[in-house]
DNA sequence: GCCAACGTTGGC
DNA sequence: GCCAACGTTGGC
């Protein structure tokens, strides 16, 4: 799951403990969030950062439910075509799990043969992406993380 | 700030 | 249902 650290960094997430992942306005990303279950782990990725990369791990604590900002006229996430009866956009809640002792940069990920098939490498723009268990474990190991995926 | 690689919109 | 025009993302 990607976030721009200037907007919401993993430090902010650690401070908050848990947060709702609002503002996803892409159908593929939305569909992926719908498949998430409570307890699922996620890589917390810093996009638009210097350098970009994986900062740590979060865990899903609430499965997909309507993102209320889609109905807020003043929100940048407002979608006038979404109704209360059939909400178009969802969000999940995630909780902080850990910040890696070592940040895993996109460069390192690209340079790791076993990770060359990651969506992050092949279709980098998607803001919520699937990660295989194998790739997840590899990145946790690279980051010196403690969580077991 | 640039721009490639998308994703979305809307006219037809 | 096609596709041109436009908007956005995100690495660089």
**Domain A2-142 is in which class?**
alpha beta
pLDDT in single tens digits along all 149 residues of chain A: 999 999 999 999 999 999 999 999 999 999 999 999 999 999 999 999 999 999 999 999 999 999 999 999 889 899 988 989 889 999 999 999 999 999 999 999 999 999 999 999 988 789 999 999 999 999 999 999 999 88
pTM attached to this predicted model: 0.95
- Strands A2-3, A41-46: pairing is parallel
Are A112 and A139 contacting, i.e. CB atoms less than 8 angstroms apart? no
A20 CB neighbours strand B below 7 A: no
pLDDT computed for residue A114 by the predictor: 93
| Rounded Cα gap, residues A54 and A36, in angstroms | 19
User: Which residue reads 């996620």 in tokens?
Assistant: A42
Nearest partner of A93 among A69, A68, A59, A138, judged by Cα: A59
Spanning CA of A125 to C1' of C5, the rounded length in angstroms is 21
Delimit the domains of chain A by residue range. 2-142
Spanning CA of A110 to C1' of B4, the rounded length in angstroms is 18
């Amino acid at each position: 799951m990607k976030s721009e650290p200037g907007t919401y960094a993993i430090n902010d997430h650690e401070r908050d403990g848990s947060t709702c992942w609002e503002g996803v306005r892409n159908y593929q990303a939305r569909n992926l969030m719908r498949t998430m279950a409570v307890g699922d782990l996620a890589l917390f990725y810093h996009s638009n950062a210097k350098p970009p990369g994986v900062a740590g791990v979060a865990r899903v604590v609430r499965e997909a439910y309507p993102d209320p900002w889609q109905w807020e006229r003043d929100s940048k996430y407002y979608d006038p075509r979404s109704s209360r009866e059939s909400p178009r956009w969802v969000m999940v809640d995630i909780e902080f799990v850990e910040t890696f002792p070592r940040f895993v940069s996109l460069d390192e990920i690209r340079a790791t043969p076993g990770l060359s098939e990651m969506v992050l490498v092949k279709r980098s723009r998607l803001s919520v992406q699937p990660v295989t268990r194998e790739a997840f474990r590899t990145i946790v190991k690279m980051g010196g993380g403690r969580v077991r995926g």
